Amino acid sequence: MANIYDRRRLWKLLFFAASIIIAAVFLYISNNLVKDLSQQERERMEIWANATKEIATGMSAESQNSADIDFLLSIIEGNRNIPVLLVDDEDNIILHRNFKLPEVADSTLPYYTSPVNIEFLKDKLASLKKTNNYIDIKIDNSTTQHLYYEDSTLLKRLALFPYIELSVMLIFIFIVYFAVISMKKAEQNKVWVGLSKETAHQLGTPISSLMAWMQMLEISGVDKEIVVDMDKDVHRLSIIADRFSKIGSKPELELAYINETISESLAYMKSRISERVELNLHFPENETAVKICLSLFEWVMENLTKNAVDAMQGVGKIDVFVNSEKDKVTIDIKDTGKGIARKNFKTVFNPGFTTKKRGWGLGLTLVKRIIEEYHEGKIFVKDSEIDHGTTFRIELPIAK
């Protein structure tokens, strides 16, 4: 069963890797498109710069006619989407186009000579100087002008579009993933409830019958010790049926002292585990009260103890440490077994996960459900080392 989760983990990694590759290819293609468009805009700016130079230097007498001037002016006027600044060597602004200038508060000043707009254009020039978007225009041996330009709105949008689209896709996948997980969890809860109630119902009839037979055996004069031992087992079956009935719905929690509760929970296990397993309880001096469902909490302690015994193959030591903190009680169950791989720290609580040749892999799943859903606590693998043992930690809120 453990291989199911190994394969699932592998598929998740493959899916994650494929997603990264697809995203990388998508971004690569988009960036190439942005580069191509950026190169085209630079070529347009070079043509614009050449037209500006021709007008500034004056044309030769042979070619000086209105048609050529109109053509050059049309090139300059044709730029309606790329913001440009034309400055001299001393950074005095000669010309600007396509910048969205701020509103002028003082209407008495000319719009283009407003101090606000001049300051705005100077700030733009300072920022453009930090980029490669500039072209030097040599008018003559002593005069050089500099053309600075911003990327067009279309280019800026195209550069941002892939990241926006990827973000939207990730958000959509995130929502779908959690919707599927929630639906799956709801289905699992229905299965748990149905299975638990049906199990309790199926056990109820034979247990009632066995109780009646116990009375008949006692009346019939069967050895009293045999009857007592059988009665203990029937009582145990009754407790198990009661646990399954409570798994199917929210149990009622009662006030209990943790040291006493754990001692009583493990008393049953002490007489039924190998003598080669040493079970030690380490309690603080002061008792701490918690709200628990006694029968379900006993089930938790029994499951964890059985798992520890199995992990040690019937030989080793189990230590249970109880400590109180500000608002919670911590219970550490430490064994000297074969340990758990770090990659499986969370997977061990999944339904069906087991390292045993025979087993359903439901014990720790039940434990997690009982502690976290019914007692509003936490359970996790605190520490584990292969061939050296594992420590499970339970955290329960202190009763107020």
Domain ranges of the chain: 2-151, 174-232, 251-397
The torsion of the CA quartet 191, 193, 194, 200, rounded to 10 degrees, works out to 140
* CB contact burial 354-367 (16+ within 10 A = b; e otherwise): beeeeeebbbbbbb
**Contact (Cβ atoms closer than 8 angstroms) between residue 230 and residue 214:** yes
Burial of 219 (C-beta count, 10 Å sphere; 0-12/13-18/19+): exposed
What whole-number distance in Å separates Cα of residue 39 and Cα of residue 36?
A: 5
What whole-number distance in Å separates Cα of residue 286 and Cα of residue 398?
A: 13
What whole-number distance in Å separates Cα of residue 318 and Cα of residue 323?
A: 17
What whole-number distance in Å separates Cα of residue 126 and Cα of residue 144?
A: 18
What whole-number distance in Å separates Cα of residue 240 and Cα of residue 233?
A: 11
| C-alpha distance from residue 365 to each of 241, 248, 321 (Å) | 18, 14, 22
Mean pLDDT of each 10-residue bin along the chain, 400 residues long: 64 81 84 85 83 68 55 72 84 82 61 68 86 83 84 82 82 84 76 71 78 81 80 80 74 90 85 85 89 90 90 91 91 93 85 64 82 92 92 92
Q: Return the ∠ at Cα 302 (arms to 230 and 388), rounded to 5°.
A: 135
**pLDDT score of 357:** 59
**Contact (Cβ atoms closer than 8 angstroms) between residue 340 and residue 354:** no
The architecture of the domain spanning 251-397 is 2-Layer Sandwich (3.30)
**pLDDT score of 4:** 60
**pLDDT score of 70:** 65
**Contact (Cβ atoms closer than 8 angstroms) between residue 290 and residue 399:** yes
**Contact (Cβ atoms closer than 8 angstroms) between residue 301 and residue 292:** no
**pLDDT score of 359:** 56
Q: What is the pTM of this model?
A: 0.55
Q: What is the DSSP string of 209-262?
A: HHHHHHHHHHHTT--HHHHHHHHHHHHHHHHHHHHHHHHTSPPPPEEEEHHHHH
**Contact (Cβ atoms closer than 8 angstroms) between residue 257 and residue 289:** yes
| C-alpha distance from residue 309 to each of 50, 55, 315, 355 (Å) | 87, 94, 7, 14
Q: Return the ∠ at Cα 296 (arms to 396 and 234), rounded to 5°.
A: 155
Closest Cα partner for 329 from 389, 296, 283? 283
| C-alpha distance from residue 300 to each of 212, 307, 354, 367, 373 (Å) | 30, 11, 17, 5, 13
Residue 321: both structure tokens together: 């440490």
